[in-house]
Structure 1
Amino acid sequence: MYPKVNEMLYLQLASAETQEPKEEFKSRVAEMKEDSLLIEIPFSQENGRQKRLHLGEELSIYYISADGKKSYFNSYVLGFLEDQIQLVRIRKPEPEGITAFQRRGFLRVNASLEIAVKFHHDFTRFLARTRDVSGGGLSFYGDSRHPLTEGQPLSCWLLINYRNGTVEHMPFEGEVVRIQDQEAGPAIVMLKFTDIKDAERQKVIKYCFERQLETRNA
């Protein structure tokens, strides 16, 4: 099911906020690890130029099996390795994360979770409820007493409740991407993760898969 060593991967940057067709890049799998893939520096299919990736950058990826079938998965950059050539280490997807269709970004699910929000420029703190969450970010219902602006950095703690009853606290740094006003009710604040440990990101990805299974079985 997983791509093999020396197999070609076709990548798009999943985190770009645009509706325009995205440029596609190619890379080759150099090595398989238990929880990651090492790939060569991607290059553009249009002009052959290498594409510099950044830590935490989201990727939408597909590969083509010997029978011509396309398999898609989403991943993100974990780090870099200097070998004979520079390699990029990306997160290895869970088997259920490999699908026959493309998703724009990480799996996003509706979820009402408690989130604590803290401003960087002062000591403002408040609690809110999320509207949806994904491995790349989330949205929550704003508080009119604490107005936010696009591009504003925030320190947050997300309270995740798993199906087996366990509770996890997920700290992360985020940035407000967009604020969507509503005719009735609070504005929806869309937030992307800007600084988050891999182990913490995996907590929310695990939660998203649980929620997806619950929805399918409902």
Structure 2
Amino acid sequence: MPTVNQMLYLRVAASNPEESEKEYKARIADAEGDTLLIETPIHEPTGRLKKLLLGDELSIYYINETGIKHFFDSHVLGFRDDQVRLVKIRKPDPERITKVQRRNFLRVPAELELAVLTENRERFIAVTDDVGGGVSFLCDSKRDIQVGQRLDCWILLNYKNGAVDHAPFASEVVRIVEMGAGRKQVMSKFTTISDSDRQKIIRYCFERQFDFRNR
């Protein structure tokens, strides 16, 4: 497990591919319960600080005393103001720390039922295309959805043990792709989601990844 004073190296999920590939580093200043408190990340090549926002998805690695990189996913939980501002991030589950780097943020193909409410109060049911740090879904091209728009959603999750759960969240549309035949793909990122609901989705994603590895 990463410890206080250890250096973390991280990337931040972003709709801009160039931005999402930038690597920042930040020292762990403190730990409390299930959170780590890190200093503001810095981009070493430019010396610029990275302002993190509540809910930002992070892909992180640290190097242990034997020189091995350990990777995990996390997200911003909040902030604490001491002499400097510290960023609270979710402490990793030991079982989900890996020595293998993922090239993309945790996101898996999934056909799940999604209820959507748009800013103009239009309601409809869609089917997801993938899910992870946000959701992509397919819908009718006539739906009035624009990049930057807020969507209030409710997703139905089906687990391997037969259990069914749901998770409400708000998201922001980051990209729209016309698919032809009167359909379009809407890609969004989470903007408001409770930590417990985020964990439900992460659990679902890891189950799906396990299935893919064993095919």
Alignment TM-score > 0.5, same fold: yes
Give the corresponding residue for 1:70. Answer: 69
Going from structure 1 to structure 2, the CA distance change for 1:180 and 1:96 (only over 3 Å counts) comes to farther
Distance 1:189 1:128 in 2: 10
- Check whether the contact 2:114–2:125 (CA below 8 A) recurs between aligned residues: yes
Give the corresponding residue for 2:13. Answer: 14
Mapping of residues 116-127 of structure 1, within 5 Å: 116-121=115-120, 123-127=121-125
- Check whether the contact 1:14–1:105 (CA below 8 A) recurs between aligned residues: no
SS at match of 2:114: strand
Distance 2:134 2:32 in 1: 26
Counterpart code for 1:54: L
Q: 78-87 or 189-198: which moved more?
A: 78-87
Q: 40-49 or 2-11: which moved more?
A: 40-49
1:189 aligns with 2:177: no
Give the corresponding residue for 1:88. Answer: 87
- Check whether the contact 2:12–2:20 (CA below 8 A) recurs between aligned residues: no
Q: 1:95 deviation in Å? A: 2.5
Residues 40-94 of structure 1, C-alpha deviation per residue, up to 9 Å, x if partnerless? 2222312434332111112221111111111122211100112343221101222
- Check whether the contact 1:155–1:172 (CA below 8 A) recurs between aligned residues: yes
Give the corresponding residue for 2:106. Answer: 107
Unaligned runs of 5+ residues in structure 2 are none
1:137 to 94, 117, 134: 134
Q: 3-12 or 110-119: which moved more?
A: 3-12
- Check whether the contact 1:15–1:59 (CA below 8 A) recurs between aligned residues: no
1:31 aligns with 2:30: yes
Which runs of structure 1 show a deviation greater than 6 angstroms over 4 or more consecutive aligned residues?
none
Counterpart code for 2:4: V
Distance 1:113 1:205 in 2: 14
Distance 1:57 1:25 in 2: 14
Give the corresponding residue for 2:52. Answer: 53
**TM-score under structure 2 normalisation?**
0.90
Q: 1:130 deviation in Å? A: 0.5
Counterpart code for 2:141: S
In the alignment of these two chains, the number of paired residues is 215
Q: 1:104 deviation in Å? A: 4.6
Unaligned runs of 5+ residues in structure 1 are none
Distance 1:109 1:18 in 2: 18
Give the corresponding residue for 2:212. Answer: 215
- Check whether the contact 1:74–1:105 (CA below 8 A) recurs between aligned residues: no
Residues 177-198 of structure 1, C-alpha deviation per residue, up to 9 Å, x if partnerless? 1112224572211111111111
More strand by share: 2
Distance 1:104 1:119 in 2: 32
Distance 1:23 1:191 in 2: 21
Counterpart code for 1:95: P
